[in-house]
Amino acid sequence: MRLCTRRRSRTLRLWLLIVFLSLHLLVVSLVLSISHTSCELHSYPDIQTSISFSVQNASASTSTMTAAGSDTQEVEMDITKKFFFLLASIIFLIKTKQQSRIRSTKRGFSKKNAGGFRYKPRGDCFFFAKVRQLCFLCSCKQTLVSTRLTGALQKSGGTQLKLVMSFPNYGQALFKPMKQERHEETNVNLYYFSDFERHNAEIAAFHLDKILGFRRVPPVVGRLVNVIKEIKDITTDHKLVTTFFTSPVGNACFYGQCSYYCSTEHAICGRPLKIEGSMAAMLPDLSFAPRRSWRSPWRRSYSRSKLAQWEMDSNYCDSIKTTPPYDRGTRLVDLIDMSILDFLMSNMDRHHYETFEKFGNDTFLIHFDNGRAFGRHSNDEPSILAPLVQCCRVRRSTLLRLHLLSLQSYRMSDVMRASLSQDPLAVVAPLLTEQHLSALDRRLETVIKTIHDCLQQHQHHSDVIHDDIGDYPGA
C-alpha cells in the first residue's frame, strides 16, 4: 500500500515535472520570439529609431542593421545553439524558482508576499542570452529604478566599495555610490589604477555603448538611495554597520571596508540621507552562465615605472594578429570596438575583458565595469586607441556609426545629452557636464581621423575595413 502510494506520487511528480517543463519551454520560446523587440530600449525611441533609420538608409540593407548593431549578421542561431539555449533557460528558470521557494520558506514569507520569480513585466531583471547578444526584458529599468530594496551587502573583491542590492523578487544589482562631484576632474597626479570609480561614468558608459550600436554594457541606471533605510537598516553585514556615522553637519555617512578609499576621510555621505549611485543589472550567476576572463593584449603595466610591451613595440599588432583567438573571427575588431569606446570616454582601466564561456571564442565581449571612465574632459589619452592605431582594422558598421555621429544632425554630444536626460538622476543634475559632452565630439574626430590615416597608409580598403555588412557600396 505504502509502496503503491509512493509509486503513484512519483508518477505524479514526473507528470508535474513534464507539464512544468513544457510550460517553461512555451514561455521560453515566447520570450525568444519577442526578445528581439524587447532588446530595444524603450526609453529613447526618437534617437534610437532615427539612428537605426539613417544607418539603414546609409547601409542600404534594412535587414542587417537592427538592434544589435555590429553583431546582427551573426544573430541567426543555428538549431543546436537554439536547443542549448532553451535547455539552459529552463534550467535557469527551475533553479531560480527553487531558490526563491527555499528562501521564501526560510524567511517565512508566503509565496504571494515574496514575489517569487516572474516572467511578466515588473518581474526580475531577466537576462536572456542570445547567441551573440545579451537581451534584457524592458522591465529591467523599472526594477532597478524603483523596486523596494531588501538587502545590501558589500561586494567582495575589487578595490573600492560597492554594494550588492537585492530586490524582493531576488533580483540583484550592483550599486556604486557617488564619490566625486560631476564637475570634478581626476587629479592629474593620480594613476589610472587608483582613480575613483564614478557612478555617473557607469551610467554614461551604458548610454554611449548603446549609441555606438554595440549594446555590450549590461543596463545601468541611476538611483537615489537612503543611507539609513536602504542600506544600514537592511544589511546583514555587521562590519558594514559599524562604519556608519553622522557627519558634523548631520549627514548620514558610511565608508565600508575595501583596499582603496574606505576610511572616514573618504566617507560616502547622504544629503542628509540620500546618496546618488549607479545600479547595474547583475550578470547571470556564474554557475548558470560561466564567464571567461581574458587579459587584454593592450593591458597597461599597472606599475608606476614599467612600460607594457605594446608601448615599446610599434609592430606589436603583427604578433597579436597571429595569436589565437585574435587570428580569426571578429575578436580583434571586437577588441578595437572596445578600445574606441574606451578612448571616447577616456577609460584607461581595461586590463581584462570577459566573454560567456558557453559561446566559445566566437562571441561578443562584455563591456562592463566602466567606473573609471569620464575622469578628465580637458585632455585625451591617445594610448587608449593603440589597438586601432597599431592594427589599423575596424568594423565597417562601427565606422558607419561613427560617421553618422559626426554629422551635425546626429552629433554624438547631442545624442548623448538626450539619452542621458532619460536617466532618473538627470533631475538632480545632468549626468555628464557639457565639457565631457564636447570632449566626446573632439575624441570622435580623432577616431575618424585615425581610421582615415589607416586608409591612406594601406593600398586596399579591405586591409583596414572588416566588412561585416557586405552589400554596402563604398565605405
- Could you say which of 7, 9, 53, 105 contacts ligand NAG (CB under 6 A)? 53
By CB under 6 A, tell whether 290 contacts ligand NAG.
Answer: no
Confirm whether residue 197 is marked as ligand binding.
yes
Catalytic residue among 124, 337, 349, 423: 349
CA distances from 260 to 127, 189, 230, 255, 278 (A): 31, 16, 23, 11, 19
Gap between the Cα atoms of 408 and 457, Å rounded = 28
Retrieve residue 241's grid coordinates.
554597520
Residue from 108, 248, 250, 324 touching ligand NAG (CB under 6 A): that is 324
- Residue choice 57, 62, 194, 379 for contact with ligand NAG (CB under 6 A): 57
3-state secondary structure 120-179: CCCCCCCEEEECCEEEECCHHHHHHHHCCCCEEEECCCCCCCCEEEECCCCCEEEEEECC
Least distance between ligand NAG and beta carbon 61 (Å)? 13
Strand pairing partners for 166? Answer: 151, 172
Q: Minimum distance between the CB of residue 328 and ligand NAG, rounded to whole angstroms?
A: 7
| Distance of alpha carbon 97 from alpha carbon 100, whole angstroms | 5
The piece of 6-14, 50-58, 117-125, 367-375 that touches ligand NAG (CB under 6 A) is 50-58
Contact 289, 305 (CB under 8 A): no
Residues within window 187-206 making contact with ligand NAG, judged by CB under 6 A: none
| Binding of residue 325 to ligand NAG (CB under 6 A) | yes
Please work out, in degrees rounded to the nearest 5, the angle formed at the alpha carbon of residue 414 by the alpha carbons of 139 and 195. 75
Closest approach of Cβ 419 to ligand NAG, in Å?
18
Give exposure, 430-460, as e/b (b: 16+ Cβ within 10 Å). Answer: bbbbeebbebbbebbeebeebbeebbeeeee
Is 160 labelled as part of a ligand binding site?
Answer: yes
Cβ closest to ligand NAG, residue 215 vs residue 331: 331
Q: 88 labelled as ligand-binding?
A: no
453 part of the active site? no
Number of other CB atoms surrounding residue 466 within 10 Å: 20
Q: Is 242 in the site for ligand NAG (CB under 6 A)?
A: no
- Selected binder of ligand NAG within 32, 52, 54, 472 (CB under 6 A): 54
Site string for ligand NAG, 348-387 (x = CB under 6 A): ------------xx--------------------------
**Do 391 and 385 contact (CB within 8 A), yes or no?**
no
Is 176 labeled as ligand-binding? yes
Residues making up the binding site for Mn(2+)? 197, 369
Query: Residue ranges for the binding site?
Result: 160, 176, 197, 280-283, 354, 369
Q: Which residues are catalytic?
A: 349
> Which residues contact ligand NAG (rule: CB under 6 A)?
53-54, 57, 324-325, 360-361
